[in-house]
Amino acid sequence: MCTIADNNKLIAEFLGYVQPHPDYPNSTYWYKKDESPLTILSFNYDWNWIMNAVDKINELGYHVSIHDGHALISDECNPPIVDEFDRKTITATYKAVIEFINFYNRQQHEN
Protein backbone atom coordinates (compact mmCIF):
# COMPACT_ATOMS: atom_id res chain seq x y z
CA MET A 1 0.00 0.00 0.00
CA CYS A 2 1.35 3.41 -0.96
CA THR A 3 1.67 6.28 1.48
CA ILE A 4 0.32 9.78 0.92
CA ALA A 5 3.89 10.88 0.16
CA ASP A 6 4.21 8.14 -2.50
CA ASN A 7 0.87 9.10 -4.03
CA ASN A 8 1.72 12.81 -4.05
CA LYS A 9 5.01 11.96 -5.76
CA LEU A 10 3.11 9.92 -8.38
CA ILE A 11 0.87 12.92 -9.13
CA ALA A 12 3.81 15.36 -9.25
CA GLU A 13 5.61 13.14 -11.76
CA PHE A 14 2.41 12.80 -13.83
CA LEU A 15 2.31 16.60 -14.00
CA GLY A 16 5.93 16.75 -15.18
CA TYR A 17 7.72 17.68 -11.96
CA VAL A 18 11.08 16.11 -11.19
CA GLN A 19 13.25 15.80 -8.14
CA PRO A 20 15.99 16.63 -7.51
CA HIS A 21 17.06 19.51 -9.70
CA PRO A 22 20.23 18.56 -11.61
CA ASP A 23 22.06 21.60 -10.22
CA TYR A 24 20.91 20.96 -6.62
CA PRO A 25 21.07 17.17 -6.03
CA ASN A 26 20.39 17.44 -2.30
CA SER A 27 17.24 19.54 -2.70
CA THR A 28 13.85 18.22 -1.65
CA TYR A 29 12.08 20.67 -3.96
CA TRP A 30 10.14 19.52 -7.01
CA TYR A 31 10.98 21.26 -10.29
CA LYS A 32 9.26 21.88 -13.61
CA LYS A 33 10.71 24.01 -16.39
CA ASP A 34 9.56 27.65 -16.26
CA GLU A 35 7.70 27.22 -12.95
CA SER A 36 8.57 27.98 -9.35
CA PRO A 37 9.72 24.89 -7.43
CA LEU A 38 7.32 23.07 -5.14
CA THR A 39 8.44 22.68 -1.55
CA ILE A 40 5.57 20.59 -0.19
CA LEU A 41 3.26 18.41 -2.29
CA SER A 42 -0.31 19.18 -1.23
CA PHE A 43 -2.41 17.20 -3.73
CA ASN A 44 -4.22 15.31 -0.98
CA TYR A 45 -5.76 18.37 0.71
CA ASP A 46 -5.61 21.38 -1.61
CA TRP A 47 -8.21 21.74 -4.36
CA ASN A 48 -5.97 24.01 -6.41
CA TRP A 49 -3.30 21.33 -6.55
CA ILE A 50 -5.49 18.31 -7.32
CA MET A 51 -7.37 20.27 -9.99
CA ASN A 52 -4.08 20.62 -11.92
CA ALA A 53 -4.07 16.83 -12.22
CA VAL A 54 -7.77 16.79 -13.14
CA ASP A 55 -7.09 19.36 -15.87
CA LYS A 56 -4.28 17.22 -17.29
CA ILE A 57 -6.54 14.15 -17.31
CA ASN A 58 -9.14 16.15 -19.23
CA GLU A 59 -6.44 17.36 -21.65
CA LEU A 60 -5.53 13.72 -22.34
CA GLY A 61 -9.08 13.20 -23.65
CA TYR A 62 -10.72 11.69 -20.59
CA HIS A 63 -13.69 13.13 -18.72
CA VAL A 64 -13.57 13.78 -14.98
CA SER A 65 -16.84 14.28 -13.13
CA ILE A 66 -16.76 15.44 -9.50
CA HIS A 67 -19.91 15.77 -7.42
CA ASP A 68 -20.92 15.28 -3.77
CA GLY A 69 -18.22 12.86 -2.64
CA HIS A 70 -18.08 11.10 -5.97
CA ALA A 71 -15.30 11.25 -8.59
CA LEU A 72 -15.70 9.46 -11.90
CA ILE A 73 -13.18 9.28 -14.75
CA SER A 74 -14.20 7.89 -18.11
CA ASP A 75 -13.39 8.00 -21.76
CA GLU A 76 -15.87 8.59 -24.54
CA CYS A 77 -17.12 5.12 -25.39
CA ASN A 78 -16.41 2.77 -22.48
CA PRO A 79 -17.61 2.18 -18.94
CA PRO A 80 -15.93 4.30 -16.26
CA ILE A 81 -12.23 3.72 -15.79
CA VAL A 82 -12.35 5.03 -12.22
CA ASP A 83 -15.30 5.40 -9.86
CA GLU A 84 -14.46 6.61 -6.33
CA PHE A 85 -16.67 7.67 -3.45
CA ASP A 86 -15.68 9.22 -0.14
CA ARG A 87 -17.45 11.34 2.45
CA LYS A 88 -15.01 14.13 1.55
CA THR A 89 -15.17 15.05 -2.13
CA ILE A 90 -11.50 16.04 -2.26
CA THR A 91 -10.53 12.61 -0.93
CA ALA A 92 -12.63 10.88 -3.58
CA THR A 93 -11.05 13.07 -6.24
CA TYR A 94 -7.54 12.41 -4.92
CA LYS A 95 -8.14 8.64 -4.90
CA ALA A 96 -9.62 8.76 -8.41
CA VAL A 97 -6.65 10.71 -9.76
CA ILE A 98 -4.20 8.20 -8.24
CA GLU A 99 -6.15 5.25 -9.62
CA PHE A 100 -6.31 6.90 -13.05
CA ILE A 101 -2.56 7.65 -13.12
CA ASN A 102 -1.79 4.03 -12.26
CA PHE A 103 -4.17 2.92 -15.07
CA TYR A 104 -2.64 5.42 -17.49
CA ASN A 105 0.93 4.41 -16.65
CA ARG A 106 0.06 0.73 -17.20
CA GLN A 107 -1.48 1.61 -20.59
CA GLN A 108 1.63 3.58 -21.59
CA HIS A 109 3.87 0.72 -20.50
CA GLU A 110 1.90 -1.84 -22.55
CA ASN A 111 2.11 0.25 -25.73
CATH number, domain with residue 82: 3.30.2120
Residue numbers of the domain that contains 87: 4-110
How far from the centroid of its chain's Cα atoms is residue 110's Cα? 20
Give how many domains the chain has, as a whole number: 1
Q: pTM, whole model, 2 decimals?
A: 0.90
- Rg, the chain, Cα only: 15
Distance CA 47, CA 80 (A): 22
Q: What is the pLDDT of residues 6-46, one digit of tens each?
A: 999 999 999 999 887 777 777 788 888 888 888 889 999 99
Q: Which residues contact 37 (CB under 8 A, 6 or more apart)?
A: 21, 27, 29, 30, 31
